[in-house]
Amino acid sequence: MAMNAPLQITLVDDSDLAQAGFAKLLEPYAERVVVLDYRDAIARPAELDAVLYEPMGQSSMSASLLRDLQTAGHAQAAVYTWAGRDQLPAQPANPLLSKSLTASQLVVSVEKLVDGRFEEPAQRAEVPVVAMASGAEAAGEIVEAEAVTFVDDAGLTPREADIVALIVAGHSNREIGEELQLSINSVKTYIRSAYRKMGVERRTQAVLWGLARGLGADPSAEALVS
* CATH code, domain with 105: 3.40.50.10850
- Residue 10 CA, chain-centre distance (Å), reads 15
Residue 107 shares a structural domain with residue 139: no
Answer whether residue 137 is part of any domain: yes
Spatial contact of 87 and 63, defined as CB atoms under 8 Å apart = no
Convert the pLDDT of each residue in 210-225 to its tens digit: 877 766 544 343 333 3
Which stretches of the chain are DSSP H helices?
16-26, 38-43, 60-72, 103-115, 158-168, 173-180, 184-198, 203-212
pTM tops 0.85: no
> What confidence tens digit (pLDDT) does each residue in 118-128 have?
877 654 433 33
Q: Which positions ≥6 away from 193 have C-beta within 8 Å?
A: 131, 133, 160
**Whether 137 and 163 share a structural domain:** yes
Query: Domain range spanning residue 59?
Result: 7-115
Would the CA dihedral through 58, 60, 61, 63 be positive or negative? positive
| Of 72 and 6, the one with more pLDDT | 6
Q: Does 1 reside within a domain?
A: no
Per-residue pLDDT of 78-115, as tens digits, reads 899 888 777 887 777 888 998 888 888 899 999 998 88
Query: Residue 67 pLDDT > 80, yes or no?
Result: yes
Tell me the Ramachandran region of residue 49: left when phi exceeds 0, alpha when psi lies from -120 to 50, beta otherwise. alpha
Q: Domain of 182: which CATH number?
A: 1.10.10.10
> How far is 92 from 73, CA to CA, in rounded Å?
19
